[in-house]
Amino acid sequence: MAKNHHWLPLILSLITALGLAASSLCIVSEFKRTKRKDLKLDGKLCHLPGSHAFGFGIAALICLFAAQVAGNFIVCRNSCSGEKRTRCKARKPALSTIFLLLSWISFGIAAILLSVASSMNRRQPYGKGWLDGDCYVVKDGVYIGAATLALVCVASALASAVISIRKSQTEQGQKIHAQV
């Protein structure tokens, strides 16, 4: 019997929405981040006020993580043949694996960029700073790079999921025809 895939459009739409939300939040963070003009110096001590980019960056990271988990859920769910889940043999379609690997690489880099840039946008009081008492400001384009990587991550996860779904449906169709 073929698998029931009525939930797939909903999950794929959710992944797309989460990816677009993550990318949009990254772009908002780029505009809301602390700037060099916000830096205040008192001798060797520095101070940076907090910015809303911290919250937007963390929200982008959460959306990106949720999209990655949902995309991997679909790939893993379709990696078994569907007869008996206790003794299934995992299939490894090459193209799906390449997209999944690209998704994880871009996710890892985007997550690092987002977490570091967002933590730099927290309040940095005099003498405390971000690292070793020094104040750091996020460079222009870091959040835009994270937004681009988030889109690559989600597009790759979606491509891997769709390929694994089609592969699963093709194999189910072949098994049904072989039984007739």
For residue 121, is pLDDT > 60?
Answer: yes
Predicted TM-score (pTM) of the model is: 0.78
CA pair distance 79, 152, nearest whole angstrom: 22
Which residue's structure tokens are 């989460």?
Answer: 18
The predicted structure's pLDDT at residue 2:
46
Q: Is the pLDDT higher at 105 or at 78?
A: 105
The predicted structure's pLDDT at residue 84:
47
Q: Is the pLDDT higher at 53 or at 93?
A: 53
Cα Rg of the chain (Å, integer)? 22
